[in-house]
Structures are given as C-alpha cells and as structure tokens.
C-alpha cells in the first residue's frame, strides 16, 4: 500500500484500535500453516483459518475468509498434498503459448511440433 493515498488513510483509520492486532494475529496464523512441517498439523491450522476468518470483525480479513471458504477444497488440498501445485504445468504452458504466437508462420505441422518440443525443453534451434 502506498503511503499517503486516501484509500490507505481510510484503511488506517478504519483499522485503528483492535484491527491491526487482529490483522497481525491472522497473518501469523495463516503463515504458520505454510511453515508447519507436520502434514496433519498444517492441515489442521489451514482448516481453522478457513473456519474462523470469515467471521472476523475486520472487513479485509472477513473478505479473505469468505474467499478461502469459496476455494476451501483447492486451498486445503495444498496443505494435504505436501504442497503440490500445478506451477510447473502452468510455466510450461506459458512457454508453449509464447512460442506458438512466435511460430505463426509455420506451415509444416511436423516442424511446428519440433519447435514446441525444443522451446518447452529449454533448447534453442
């Protein structure tokens, strides 16, 4: 948040009092779910976050809680699957999409396929 903007001033005024304490405690609780080593404990903390944040009196934390409730299954899956995600797949798709746009002049489908394999493998022709 940039200092001096009217929205940041309004947020600061609205959250003065117990708001910053709640915000810090909520952030620490959420952060602990990501840093916990034990898979079961990590899942328990994440479930507690999902179950409690939506009822927080601070509007921003309550909004985060509602969002986490909507994405409950996907959010909790991260803590159940040893932090597995699809980042590698998305990165590879991004590389292929970039090279697909660059290779719009390819007429030979075989050469186009080889170009995508080279691009995705990090090789250059």
**Interval 63-79: pLDDT, tens:** 999 999 999 998 998 88
On the question of pLDDT at 57 being above 80, the answer is yes
Long-range contacts of 88-92 (CB under 8 A, 24+ apart): 92/120
Where are the domains positioned within the chain? 19-80, 87-120
Could you tell me the pLDDT band of residue 6, with boundaries at 50, 70 and 90?
low
Question: What pLDDT is attached to residue 122?
Answer: 66
Question: What pLDDT is attached to residue 125?
Answer: 58
What count of residues does the chain have? 125
On the question of pLDDT at 23 being above 70, the answer is yes
Could you tell me the pLDDT band of residue 14, with boundaries at 50, 70 and 90?
low
What does the pLDDT average to over 47-68?
93
Question: What pLDDT is attached to residue 1?
Answer: 44
- What is the phi/psi pair of residue 119, to 5°? -65, -45
**Interval 28-39: pLDDT, tens:** 999 999 999 898
Half-sphere exposure of 18 (CA within 13 A, CB side): 5
């Amino acid at each position: 948040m940039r200092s001096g903007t009217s929205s940041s001033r309004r947020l600061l005024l609205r959250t003065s009092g117990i708001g910053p304490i709640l915000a810090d405690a909520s952030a620490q609780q959420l952060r602990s779910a990501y840093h916990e080593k034990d898979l079961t404990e990590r899942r328990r903390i994440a479930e507690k976050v999902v179950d409690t944040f939506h009822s927080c009196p601070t509007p921003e934390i309550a909004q985060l809680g509602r969002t986490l409730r909507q994405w409950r299954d996907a959010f909790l899956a991260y803590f159940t699957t040893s932090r597995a995600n699809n980042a590698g797949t998305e990165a590879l798709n991004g590389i292929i999409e970039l090279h697909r746009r660059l290779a719009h002049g390819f007429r030979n489908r075989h050469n186009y396929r080889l170009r995508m394999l080279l691009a995705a493998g990090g090789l250059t022709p």
